[in-house]
Structure 1
């Protein structure tokens, strides 16, 4: 790291794995006489090494452009890297991670090995793979086993960021058929706003012992892989929220306890964006700025009345809790966030030409920015280094990053670093 660095590891329940790490971080803040602390969370990285590499690249870019941001060289920064147990998805088109598709048993088996850490469950799922194309019973058992891993919580009727009810309890054949079409660009256009219902009664009835009847969008293995990815997506999304609410929120309070003068700035990539947003909502510590880099949660996460009536996003109170600006990078180039929500849409029996975009109920904030959010300013482009931002305290700025962010993991360039540091300084 090119700035003083400490790290704190959490388990999947948000508990601190090594309490001494918190004391080391607090001591570093004091020893460095820090004025600002950047608390950074990774997303669906498979190893701690992946997370550290991400932090190193982003901080390197911040250091490289620091002299170009007025007042930044006078600040004394410390970085606290958050580590938590996430699962890495397969990469569509080498795009970091996401709801990838593929038709072979080998690909599905590789994803099961990657995404299902519990040995007994993994063995049961792997044993079913050879029968998925020929046995309705195997398909039913496969979906049922994956459902056992879904977190408890709200359904999509209450929160567009939650697992669709259909993923939890619809007929397994219907779920697999819908999932098999999740990446199909030739889907029939929607009548209104990118969503028209699929009538499950219209599915051809599968034979109990064989055949792939009804799987018209793609093959059975493709559907199974998408259901696996969707299950992983909602499981990791939930875990990120738990780590943020129970872990990072308390960490922020501990960091400030003996360093009351220090400014806390939250930076999160992917599911790390959800983790830090959950932390900001739960913590009693003041947060000076928040930067969401290709965050993986609903574009209605900070919305009010997203349904056109009384329903608010789970994080709708967050902008008012941030002393400085909230910034969001978003881009159509993000295939991970851009495809995760269409998978959910398909499984919820929705089909449309614009899956994942701003008209899709299941669109992601890393794909479309913050929608129906009263605190949001007008969308502006991500600037080159030296460009002008008009960030405001307590306001949300969605930055169209098409020109500079080319994939889900492409969040460590100088342009992104410049936006993060500009938000930090706007919080002064």
Structure 2
């Protein structure tokens, strides 16, 4: 049944980790959603890493409130807009919050924190064999500081939670699977490099807590656990987008409705996977807005490595996205930047620009789309200012002025950009 969300008709669709639609099809029907008529435009909202539907719905409500405030000046005349909330089983990836705790807490509780993090992975890796690996890894904790054998076994157990595959991956360094257990353990004990922005200024001071964590294997083990959790959730987002949302849009949304995909964090990866899916999302006009996307800045790239395009490049080249593709990025987003700093570290890339546009493992939410010949450079504008948007073109929008951190994506400036993309979609 349709609900009201800040003055917009609103429905939800919930997906399982394998992309299966959990919501009854009858409850997802958009026909008659606006004054007993089908809306002309449907904005699909997709959350990122959080662990409850309540958190996702609050994000949607805050964004809907800003969309309602921006609509009188920005929404296209003569068109009717409805909202659709997508729910999918993401897990909260909270290692950054733990990194910003006190030195004393980190020093005293290294092993304890690692155990808690391993316990948290039980919510992500649920197969019996995976649970056995986690239990075995936890049993090794008392010996990790002094036993190289325990360290090697720990690396093998945690890394073995992930399936190996030969498909190109923009996000994960080959070394995650190519290094032997001893070499990977050694690589992980190196400290993360300072994070520099495009102008060479340190976005995080080099002498801050973030860069002065105690080294040693325990710290490297925590980083391995965190990156494995990240890797698994990014895979899940891709699966739900490709096998869930894309199929849903092809089968459940009438062909005459313009669809506008809006994804935050891992949700940006999810909608990008849907747009790049084989078969697309159906013959309909579409814009896409990626709010602090948590995937590679080469996601839409052309030939970023010899013979290799970005995983989501078909979303651009197939013209599935017929409206503008808007990409917010900011140096303020330390969460995305640091995630890719870990990837850079695994690959042995430890220079000061390991987080930036020149990095092999940079994030699109930090740097925008790189090596993408079609991209137009711009900024996130204040509400009411006019954009010059082009249908079918990716637009990097520098959001330093308005997006202060990874989750600050519900303001009126963001809503104004989304509605400007709606208005520019033919």
Q: TM-score range by the shorter chain?
A: 0.7 to 0.9
Q: What is the CA-CA distance between 1:114 and the residue it aligns to?
A: 2.4
Contact 1:325 1:393 in 2 (8 A): yes
After superposition, residues 188-207 of structure 1 pair within 5 angstroms as none
SS of 2:371's equivalent in the other structure is coil
Show the counterpart of 1:85.
Answer: 89
CA distance in 1, matches of 2:195, 2:366: 20
Q: Deviations over 1:369-392 (max 9, x none)?
A: 011112211x21211111221110
Q: Deviations over 1:260-293 (max 9, x none)?
A: 3211010111111111011112224124200000
Q: What is the CA-CA distance between 1:26 and the residue it aligns to?
A: 5.1
Contact 1:329 1:369 in 2 (8 A): yes
CA distance in 2, matches of 1:25, 1:95: 44
Show the counterpart of 2:143.
Answer: 131
Q: Deviations over 1:168-226 (max 9, x none)?
A: 24233432332343534299xxxxxxxxxxxxxxxxxxxxxxxxxxxx98232211111
Q: What is the CA-CA distance between 1:91 and the residue it aligns to?
A: 4.7
| Distance change >3 Å, CA 186–CA 252, structure 1 → 2 | closer
| Distance change >3 Å, CA 369–CA 420, structure 1 → 2 | same
CA distance in 1, matches of 2:245, 2:35: 19
SS of 1:50's equivalent in the other structure is helix
| Distance change >3 Å, CA 380–CA 247, structure 1 → 2 | same
Show the counterpart of 1:346.
Answer: 345
Q: What is the CA-CA distance between 1:427 and the residue it aligns to?
A: 0.6
After superposition, residues 366-385 of structure 1 pair within 5 angstroms as 366-377=365-376, 379-385=377-383
Out of 85, 107, 118, the residue aligned to residue 112 of structure 1 is 118
Contact 2:281 2:320 in 1 (8 A): no
Contact 2:75 2:422 in 1 (8 A): no
Show the counterpart of 2:202.
Answer: none
Q: What is the CA-CA distance between 1:33 and the residue it aligns to?
A: 3.0
Q: Deviations over 1:274-317 (max 9, x none)?
A: 1101111222412420000011111111111112x432111112
Show the counterpart of 1:427.
Answer: 425
Contact 2:30 2:38 in 1 (8 A): no
Show the counterpart of 1:141.
Answer: 153
Contact 2:193 2:354 in 1 (8 A): no
After superposition, residues 240-389 of structure 1 pair within 5 angstroms as 240-256=237-253, 259-282=254-277, 283-285=280-282, 286-307=284-305, 309-319=306-316, 320-377=319-376, 379-389=377-387
CA-atom RMSD in angstroms = 2.5
Relative to the length of structure 1, the TM-score reads: 0.84
The answer on 1:231 being equivalent to 2:201 is: no
SS of 1:321's equivalent in the other structure is coil
SS of 1:351's equivalent in the other structure is coil
Q: What is the CA-CA distance between 1:25 and the residue it aligns to?
A: 4.8
| Distance change >3 Å, CA 58–CA 180, structure 1 → 2 | farther
Contact 2:193 2:352 in 1 (8 A): no
Show the counterpart of 1:50.
Answer: 55
Contact 2:144 2:150 in 1 (8 A): yes
Show the counterpart of 1:205.
Answer: none
| Distance change >3 Å, CA 326–CA 176, structure 1 → 2 | same
| Distance change >3 Å, CA 70–CA 287, structure 1 → 2 | closer
Comparing 165-174 and 246-255, the one that deviates more: 165-174
Contact 1:280 1:287 in 2 (8 A): no
SS of 2:373's equivalent in the other structure is coil
Contact 2:292 2:327 in 1 (8 A): yes
Show the counterpart of 1:405.
Answer: 403
| Distance change >3 Å, CA 373–CA 129, structure 1 → 2 | same
Contact 1:184 1:217 in 2 (8 A): no
Q: What is the CA-CA distance between 1:21 and the residue it aligns to?
A: 5.9
Show the counterpart of 1:219.
Answer: 216
SS of 1:31's equivalent in the other structure is coil
Q: What is the CA-CA distance between 1:32 and the residue it aligns to?
A: 4.8
Contact 1:95 1:407 in 2 (8 A): no
SS of 1:4's equivalent in the other structure is strand
Q: What is the CA-CA distance between 1:235 and the residue it aligns to?
A: 1.1
Show the counterpart of 2:14.
Answer: 9
| Distance change >3 Å, CA 413–CA 390, structure 1 → 2 | same
Q: What is the CA-CA distance between 1:94 and the residue it aligns to?
A: 8.0
Q: What is the CA-CA distance between 1:402 and the residue it aligns to?
A: 0.9
Aligned length: 388
Q: Deviations over 1:350-409 (max 9, x none)?
A: 2211111001010111111011112211x2121111122111001010001111111111
| Distance change >3 Å, CA 23–CA 333, structure 1 → 2 | closer
| Distance change >3 Å, CA 182–CA 13, structure 1 → 2 | farther
The answer on 1:160 being equivalent to 2:159 is: no
CA distance in 2, matches of 1:339, 1:412: 22
